[in-house]
Amino acid sequence: MMKVLVHFFTFIAILQLSSTFQTPTETFQHELILKTPDIYKVFWKYNEVDITFEVHVKTKGWIGFGISPNGGMAGSDMILAWFANGKPVLEDRHAIGEQEPLLDEKQDWKLLLGKETDDYTVMKFRRKLITCDENDRIITGNSTMRLIWAYNDIKPSEKIIKHGTNNKGTKSVSLINLAKTINQEERLKDTFTYDIRNSNFSLPHDRDTFYRCEIFKIPPMIEKHHVISAKAILDEKHSQILHHILVYSCHHAVDDSHVGISYECYNNETNMADHLNGCDTVIFAWAVGGEQEFFPEDVGFPLGGSDKPLYVRMETHYDNPFGVKNVIDQSGVKLWLTKKLKKYDQAVLEVGHTVGPYQIIPPKTEEFITLGHCSEECLNEAFKENKLEEVKIFSVMLHAHLKGVKMRLRHYRGDEEIEPITYDDSYDFNYQDYKLMKPMKVLKKGDRLTLECYYNTKTDSETIQGGLSTRDEMCLAYIRYYPKISLAHCQSNPNMEKISTAYKSIKEKGWTKELKVEYQEFVKKPEFVAVCTGNAKTFPINEKTIKLPKVKKNYLPPDFCKLITPSSSSTIHPSVTLFVTLFSYYSYVIY
């Protein structure tokens, strides 16, 4: 009997061993499981020039892996790989539709290693971040990258046999983002944590969108401390209905009597809501897909000592279109604090179009742009009050809802447009995170910002408006910067009277093609009402009408492929200096 048991457990151990991902062939910066529990995993690393991938797939057939503009096949840049006669084969291909991907004339994905071991096929390959091949996608740290993957257990002979429905997928990710390569244990060794969590909130199941607010008191600290890292605490039982969490500092008449008060945010019928909504300076922002955030080594968010806030308001947005019942939520935020003060205090600036029904997007439109302005006049007043000439921006989170497809935070200095602060040409509502940047962007006195949000409403039959629901839209950017100024919101509204008149006409006539074009031109007019507030105060320019100066020179990104030397056109090996210069535009290298 004992022998039988020994053999049985040995057999189980072998089964478990064979169902475990292989150890990668070298140390990689990042890793991601694309199909659980043990089917498809990718490892990757990169430098200023190249990116190297290693995929481990539980198959002895063919493997597909690549980058897509939107998660679909069309426009994708990919590899197909398999073993033939005991040797690894890898082909650089591209897709123009749902049919078999076409072989690239120029093979930019290079096979480094292939092996079959236990139940797995392992392929390691490399390519340039920028290949100058029209069939390849540029790999950047700005735009969200959508990985696509597939496999089939049958090896190809003359033709690739299509994957099954369950043997494919897509995953949004930042490939060029070094946040996770930070030595986290070293950074956090002299810290302690403080959690801000919802108090067993029972979510109403009959509301598809609900904004819940609660007031908290930060434990009094005699000495000033710095928050150096923050992370959302998600209740895994219902994390799929959590849309975002914001923590605002209170700089007005809030005291201990308000602590523990919870209410529906922005509901004027709720007792105290108007007063407590005055806690309006963002200190932490998380949205769907966000991960733990680490601030630069010389920067922290101040708490304790003479630094406020002592009280904060946490806003949790629940999106529950299917009416999930019996949700008791304790989600919130974890902060890492240290007594070892950093050189600079940081803050968050909210830029964009104010949230509300005056943001109007026509239906059945492939591309419509909303603009949100942070005016020179507003920034100048804040810089003047804080006796500063400039601040440094080190990370930005872009935020739109389901119809958002692309975003760009433009930067103007005088009558010229300079390099954008950030952009995302393949925005994914389900993957929102702070994008870190280096070199950090400098925002100077006299500058202005414009956030462009692009929407696709081809499948909608009704007008989309701005609002709090996930099915409404937003156009916002959360900018982390230092040193801190007393400005929290630098945004814009359209002229309410003019837009009301325009929308009344639209409702009467319906959205014609001509009317959509006319309305888009109206939205793009360089005239708006400024929103300029912060720390429970308003600046003199707030609610004043602003007219933007004419831009004499628009920004044009560098064309890398025209700058390389002719001798390097077949196999790209540009000088590191040139590549790093362009890399700073296409990607954000992290400190």
| Residues acting as catalytic residues | 211, 399
What's the Cα-to-Cα distance from 401 to each of 63, 471, 541, 581, rounded to whole Å? 34, 7, 29, 33
- The crossing angle, in degrees rounded to 10, of helices 496-509 and 513-524 is 170
B/e letters for 561-576, b = 16+ CB within 10 Å, e = fewer, are eeebeeeeeeebebee
Residues in Cβ contact with 503 at an 8 Å cutoff, skipping those fewer than 6 apart: 360
Neighbour count for residue 107 (Cβ, 10 Å)? 15
Strand 77-84 versus strand 50-57 pairing type: unpaired
Q: Which of 99, 92, 175, 169 is nearest to 135 (CA)?
A: 92
Distance CA 524, CA 518 (A): 10
Q: Does an H or E element contain 502, and which?
A: helix 496-509
Longest distance between any two alpha carbons in the chain, whole Å: 89
Name the token pair of 289. Answer: 């897909």
Q: Which of 590, 581, 591 is nearest to 141 (CA)?
A: 590
Q: Which of 333, 445, 460, 338 is nearest to 401 (CA)?
A: 460
Q: Which of 531, 289, 537, 541 is nearest to 434 (CA)?
A: 289
What's the Cα-to-Cα distance from 536 to each of 54, 79, 353, rounded to whole Å? 51, 54, 19
- DSSP codes of every residue in 320-371: -TT-----EE--EEEEEEESS--SEE-EEEEEEEPSSTT-EE-SS-S-EEEE
Amino acid in the structure at residue 49: V
Query: Could you tell me which residues are beta bridge partners of residue 232?
Result: 333
What's the Cα-to-Cα distance from 442 to each of 270, 391, 447, rounded to whole Å? 41, 6, 10
Q: Which of 302, 299, 33, 268 is nearest to 171 (CA)?
A: 33
Distance CA 412, CA 379 (A): 12
Contact 450, 362 (CB under 8 A): no
Q: Does an H or E element contain 247, and which?
A: strand 242-249
3-state helix, strand, coil in the chain (%, to 5): 15, 40, 45
Helix (H, G, I), strand (E, B) or coil at 293: strand
Name the token pair of 459. Answer: 């499948």
Name the token pair of 188. Answer: 């956090």
Name the token pair of 128. Answer: 């340039």
Residues in Cβ contact with 548 at an 8 Å cutoff, skipping those fewer than 6 apart: 373, 375, 448, 526, 527
Distance CA 250, CA 484 (A): 16
Please count the residues of the chain: 591
